[in-house]
Chains A and B, each alone.
Chain A
Amino acid sequence: KQEVTQIPAALSVPEGENLVLNCSFTDSAIYNLQWFRQDPGKGLTSLLLIQSSQREQTSGRLNASLDKSSGRSTLYIAASQPGDSATYLCAVREEGGSEKLVFGKGTKLTVNP
């Protein structure tokens, strides 16, 4: 059974810091890995999608890497801002019939002014 773990569960940093969020998964039979952002009481916003054949994706101040063989992904946020405060969710899309997305429990990020 696929399990996705995100470390740390919560993170508080001062504005301007560069930071790394970690995600690990137990089964490498995946099509892709997706990072989402969720603000309190809101839905899921897709940040980055990395296909299993790719090593990384970048969007603005965000960079996500994928090491499929070791079951790891990182989300790097450069020059953090208070507006980055949110919960970040990592999810892998399993190979096979359902192609379901399996989620980690998220990292709650607080960026202090």
Chain B
Amino acid sequence: NAGVTQTPKFRILKIGQSMTLQCTQDMNHNYMYWYRQDPGMGLKLIYYSVGAGITDKGEVPNGYNVSRSTTEDFPLRLELAAPSQTSVYFCASAKAQAGYTFGSGTRLTVV
């Protein structure tokens, strides 16, 4: 049982480049989330989805986009990367009203 799988684990981007962080889950969870974690700042919600075809913004959505075409996949797109997007990104999934399962994270550096 793979749970939540994130790729890549590490990535270095140059300012202005774009990339997609992949997230897939095999637990048939309706709810999926993207968080970023910065030192001393805790985890902040970027985007979330309550089901295939439905997405919405979290606390810090600027500079990011998402899509949810299937229940399993919830990719996060970074357009025109900026140094402020240097962070660790976590994807998570959950059933309604239940506990979350997190992926192992993607460590992104923008230089």
Measured CB to CB, the residues of A under 8 A from B are 31-32, 34, 36, 41-44, 46, 49, 51, 89, 91, 93, 97-101, 103-106
- Mostly helix, strand, loop or mixed at chain A's interface? strand
Query: With A44-B90, A104-B42, A105-B42 in contact, do A99 and B101 touch (Cβ < 8 Å)?
Result: no
- Give the bracket for the number of chain B residues in contact with chain A: 20 to 34
Contacts of B104 in A (CB 8 A): 42-43
- B31-53 Cβ-contact flags toward A at 8 Å (1 or 0): 10100000011110100101000
Measured CB to CB, the residues of B under 8 A from A are 31, 33, 40-43, 45, 48, 50, 56, 58, 90, 92, 94, 96-105, 107
Contacts of B48 in A (CB 8 A): 98, 100
Is the CB–CB distance between A43 and B97 below 8 Å? no
Is the CB–CB distance between B102 and A43 below 8 Å? yes
Contacts of A103 in B (CB 8 A): 42-43
